[in-house]
Chains A and B, each alone.
Chain A
């Protein structure tokens, strides 16, 4: 095979395979647009082993009502990132569906329950194709793609080679080799070729500049991750129920009526409130850390003869407002002015 023959064959193979691939791509793109297909690139392995990092999944947008348990669907989480996980529970809510999703490789379902009206349901996945998409849409990939496009444009718009010639190098600019005197069309074609070349140059330069400037953000919908929970058991706090003092008693002593009770426990103090037995009005109150209180004149002042009630409640010494609900109450009375107090009512 001659060198020209080899190059010619290589060109043929390149062109033919490019054309086949191109047709496939066109069909796939048309089908994708027609059927609402969305490519998803998996950036993490939460769905492995079914779908692994770098895989490209083809998904189709479907109404939420068609989603069933076991489907792999893609939703946008509240954080704005895309999550593609398997449906483990579907709750109906009119048109909407509340989806609980879980990555196959995750121990727990996602923390967020996604409310959706439509989702992208994964149809099939192509192993490792995500890396190809990533490479192709990187600046370098886009540059190569631009060169490829420009090259193909040159082939499309270049002057048609003469019969029997197939190598690109044979595209002699003179055009004089064509048989027959079709001068008018030839002239027009020649002008067209020059224009096409100019266009090609502009396309190459423009595409290169424009695509090099394209940010790497020109990317497919990277599938995010994997929320999962560690759940603490119910931690429990209870507030104290302040115990009441018990066994109230009253003893008449020289200093006056002595009210006593049994301790509610260590750490408690007691508040003794004295009220008028007939009106219920509070006369005075006192606190003690002990288990008795003397109803002395010093405490009560000089009262006329009155029936009184002493009520003792416990409280934690550290929390003076937390009085026990239960109490002990003892009746006593003030005697006439200056004579102090004595147990019992008149």
Chain B
């Protein structure tokens, strides 16, 4: 029977060629299955090797920073300090910063009366209890230390590997602060976050 001869001819490769199409299925599925799980539109792909290491004042964590402190403030007094943000890693990153403030005296919202100004100045101005920041105010940056918002520097700022960026932070007790705020206190923690700048 001629059918037998047909069946005995595996070397035609038809079946194998068909099976070999599975490679395309596999590769296609890897791409598309994964794509379904990702909402991000990706244009162009870059692989980034190396590490990501954001530092402030060349440290990974600052536990005893005092240059921004000011005790016994009266309305109108201000303090300022320059922080240096550095990309210690090997790839470009974007950094943002948040704040968390706490009033230390119950019933006295000093934080709401503490105005903040963040600029790109590399040095502070003024003397004594009237230190200020000159330069351009950083876009969208915070203007108050009021609790309830963690906004500090919300818009990502690009920093190339090994690059540094100075920021000047000025804290002022508002000139119209109420006399009821006497003896009040506020503490703040700033958190700087670096994210690798992909896609």
Q: Which residue numbers of A lie inside 8 Å of B, CB to CB?
A: 11-12, 15-16, 18-26, 28-29, 32-33, 37-41, 43-46, 52-54, 76, 79-82, 105-108, 111, 120, 130-131, 133-134, 136-138, 145, 148-149, 152-153, 155-156, 160-161, 163, 166, 180, 182, 215-222, 224-242, 316, 318-319, 321-323, 325
Contacts and interface: CB of A to CB of B under 8 A. Distances in A.
B139 interface: no
A80 B30 CA distance: 21
9 tightest A-B CB contacts, nearest first: A25-B26, A22-B22, A18-B20, A225-B196, A220-B34, A155-B17, A19-B16, A26-B22, A221-B38
Given A163-B5, A229-B193, A43 B27 contact: no
Nearest to B8: A163
Given A43-B48, A54-B47, A230-B62, A156 B18 contact: yes
A116 to B, nearest CB: 13
Interface string B114-152: 100000000000000000000000000000000000000
A220 B33 CA distance: 8
Most buried by A among B26, B31, B73, B110: B31
A44 B196 contact: yes
A319 B47 contact: no
A53 B12 CA distance: 43
> How many residues of B sit at the interface, in one of the four size bands?
35 or more
A189 to B, nearest CB: 11
A98 to B, nearest CB: 17
B179 A323 contact: yes
Contacts of A166: 11-12
A206 to B, nearest CB: 14
Given A15-B17, A26-B22, A318 B52 contact: no
B31 A228 contact: no
Given A105-B51, A318-B75, A80 B45 contact: no
Interface of B: 2, 5-6, 9, 11-35, 37-56, 59-66, 68-77, 79, 91, 98, 104, 108, 110, 113-114, 171, 173, 175, 177-179, 181-196, 198-199
Given A43-B48, A137-B27, A220 B187 contact: no
Most buried by B among A133, A161, A231, A242: A231
Given A18-B19, A25-B22, A136-B30, 7 more contacts: A133-B30, A137-B31, A152-B17, A166-B12, A216-B42, A237-B71, A241-B72
B16 A221 contact: no
A12 B47 contact: no
A302 B154 CA distance: 64
